[in-house]
């Protein structure tokens, strides 16, 4: 008997509560049908959807740039490619249906089950790649997914989701397995978060907090504020500068994984700044200009100035009254830190604070203070050849990832560079107010049923001994 997709009786546009209710009801039916699919069927859908997204990586990137005015076209193309083809290749051979494993020694059989409807909140900084990633891992796990886009990026986010949906349906997925809010609002976003089965929240701290307060299980993401420590005597300045430039300038600094503060030994500070300047970077040293940055980037000590994220350094600084030439990265010569320093917070354009230290423990303490101000749980980076010192930093800093001598953007599982699960979304643990500390991937969208059998060597006498002794 041929399986039929649920009839599409929902309104053409989801822009009010009633339309969203109808959409979610239709998606419930679609997901119930999808839950009956075999691994072979799911993998075909996963493949076709991923390839369709990858083929559209350039036009989707152009749409994101045009709509948001943020980021770098080439980098957004790469992000879309990563979220589509690389994510597919990373997870194409994983089991997500039926029996996952049988542990004969312990008598446990694990069965994979979908969760239901995933609610996905998508940020304006990475609107298309995040949508591609979340829809693909939902398809891989036989879940439905409804997207609540950022109002400033709704057009391109929906375009990405629709493209994945069309390819999935053509490959055999039920109609309506992917949905979205056409006209986003706080009311509809809150309704999505309340009525789905699990939330994948990517965005600012306010939105993530709302997701966790919704009463629905949630994987949220904390803020980034990456601290970089250069160990005493580490003088490979070409490696340091090349890695940081590759990471911090990616997509005009919109990545939460980008380096934010650089701690360098006092006697090496001038040399390291000179190494950056040799590669075209500009250092802001004038106290008056630094004060303009404080007041302009975080007006009245509040949220970041919406005019600067995703802009190139010259343009971002022009918005706050500081004139610099064109450059890939602007350095700020700074000595203050933590709650006393507004610039110690996460800044989403290519800017790097440079602080010096005389003792490594001092650097750790200041970096920790910056993280506790903003960015706890996320990630940090270290340049050292001393394994003991690296381990010590990992034990002191409240982060879930400490990258060693690499561009910190690689903590997302950058292809071929390390063994981290590839993702677009990373958890920050309880430090960041998150429920998990992992790189979010398909495993987080599965329920597992465990069939448990009595061990062969275990007897009723053993049970009596446990409870009666």
Average pLDDT estimate for 380-406: 97
Which residues does the annotation mark as catalytic?
Answer: 256
Question: In terms of domains, do 62 and 206 share one?
Answer: yes
Question: In terms of domains, do 195 and 344 share one?
Answer: no
Model confidence over 406-438: pLDDT tens digits?
999 999 997 668 899 999 998 899 998 888 899
Greatest distance between any 2 Cα atoms in the chain: 81
C-beta of residue 246 within 8 angstroms of C-beta of residue 281: no
Residue 122 to residue 133: CA distance in whole angstroms: 11
C-beta of residue 174 within 8 angstroms of C-beta of residue 5: yes
Judge whether 435 lies within some domain: no
Which of these, 247, 264, 260, 450, lies nearest to 373 by C-alpha position? 260
Judge whether 5 lies within some domain: no
**Angle 441-443-447 from CA coordinates, rounded to 5°:** 140
Question: In terms of domains, do 190 and 303 share one?
Answer: no
Question: In terms of domains, do 47 and 184 share one?
Answer: yes
pLDDT at residue 17, rounded to an integer: 96
Judge whether 429 lies within some domain: no
Model confidence over 170-202: pLDDT tens digits?
999 999 999 999 999 999 999 999 999 999 988
3-state secondary structure of 392: helix
Domain containing 207 equals 17-221+440-450
CB-CB neighbours of 186 under 10 Å: 11
Which of these, 402, 441, 438, 434, lies nearest to 203 by C-alpha position? 434
Residue 268 to residue 271: CA distance in whole angstroms: 5
pLDDT at residue 207, rounded to an integer: 76
Computed over every residue of the chain, the mean pLDDT equals 93
Q: Total structural domains in the chain?
A: 2
Question: In terms of domains, do 268 and 172 share one?
Answer: no
Q: Quickly state the pLDDT bin for 62 (edges 50, 70, 90).
A: very high
Judge whether 464 lies within some domain: no
Q: Is the pLDDT of residue 399 over 80?
A: yes
Average pLDDT estimate for 320-325: 96
Give the CATH number of the domain where residue 398 resides: 3.40.309.10
Q: Is the pLDDT of residue 468 over 80?
A: no
CB-CB neighbours of 315 under 10 Å: 14
C-beta of residue 4 within 8 angstroms of C-beta of residue 173: no
Give the CATH number of the domain where residue 42 resides: 3.40.605.10
Which of these, 270, 44, 285, 54, lies nearest to 169 by C-alpha position? 44
pLDDT at residue 2, rounded to an integer: 44
Instruction: Tokens for 8, please give them.
Output: 């599409």
Question: In terms of domains, do 266 and 407 share one?
Answer: yes
C-beta of residue 84 within 8 angstroms of C-beta of residue 167: no
Q: Quickly state the pLDDT bin for 446 (edges 50, 70, 90).
A: very high
Question: In terms of domains, do 171 and 41 share one?
Answer: yes
């Amino acid at each position: 008997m041929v399986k039929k997709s649920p009839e599409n009786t929902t309104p053409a546009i989801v822009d009010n509560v009633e339309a969203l209710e109808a959409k979610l009801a239709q998606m419930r039916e679609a997901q119930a049908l999808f839950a009956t699919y075999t691994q072979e069927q799911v993998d075909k859908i996963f493949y076709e959807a991923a390839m369709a997204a990858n083929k559209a990586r350039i036009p989707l990137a152009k749409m994101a740039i045009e709509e948001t005015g943020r980021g770098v076209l080439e980098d957004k193309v790469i992000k879309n490619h990563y979220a589509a083809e690389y994510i597919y290749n990373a997870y194409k051979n994983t089991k997500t249906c039926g029996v996952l494993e049988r542990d004969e020694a312990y008598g446990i059989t694990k069965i994979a089950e979908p969760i239901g409807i995933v609610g996905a909140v998508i940020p304006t900084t990475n609107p298309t790649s995040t949508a591609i990633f979340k829809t693909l891992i939902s398809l891989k796990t036989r879940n439905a997914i409804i997207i609540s886009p950022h109002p400033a990026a709704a057009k391109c986010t929906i375009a990405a989701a629709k493209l994945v949906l069309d390819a999935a349906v053509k490959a055999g997925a039920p109609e309506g397995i992917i949905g979205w809010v056409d006209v986003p609002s706080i009311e509809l976003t809150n309704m999505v978060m309340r009525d789905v089965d699990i939330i994948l929240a990517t965005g600012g701290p306010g939105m993530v907090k709302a997701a966790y307060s919704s009463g629905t299980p949630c994987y949220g993401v904390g803020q980034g504020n990456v601290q970089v420590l250069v160990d005493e005597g580490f003088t490979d300045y070409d490696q340091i500068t090349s890695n940081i430039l590759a990471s911090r300038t990616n997509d005009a600094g919109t990545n939460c994984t980008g380096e934010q503060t650089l701690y360098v030994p006092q006697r090496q500070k001038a040399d390291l700044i000179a190494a950056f300047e040799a590669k075209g970077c500009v250092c802001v040293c004038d106290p008056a200009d630094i004060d303009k940055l404080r007041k302009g980037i975080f007006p009245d000590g509040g949220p970041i100035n919406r005019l600067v994220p995703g802009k190139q350094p010259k343009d971002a600084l022009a918005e706050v009254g500081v004139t610099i030439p064109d450059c890939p990265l602007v350095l700020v010569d700074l000595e203050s830190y933590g709650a006393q320093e507004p610039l110690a917070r996460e800044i989403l354009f290519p800017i790097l604070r440079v602080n010096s230290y005389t003792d490594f423990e001092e650097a750790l303490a200041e970096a920790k203070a910056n993280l506790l101000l903003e960015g706890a749980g996320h990630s940090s980076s270290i340049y050292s050849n001393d394994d003991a010192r690296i381990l010590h930093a990992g034990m002191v800093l409240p982060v879930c990832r400490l990258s060693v001598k690499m561009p910190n953007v690689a903590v997302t599982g950058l292809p071929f560079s390390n063994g981290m699960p590839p993702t677009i979304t990373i958890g920050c643990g309880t430090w960041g107010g998150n429920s998990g500390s992992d790189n979010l991937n398909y495993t987080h969208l599965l329920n597992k049923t465990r069939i448990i059998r009595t061990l062969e060597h275990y007897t009723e006498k053993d049970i009596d001994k446990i409870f009666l002794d």
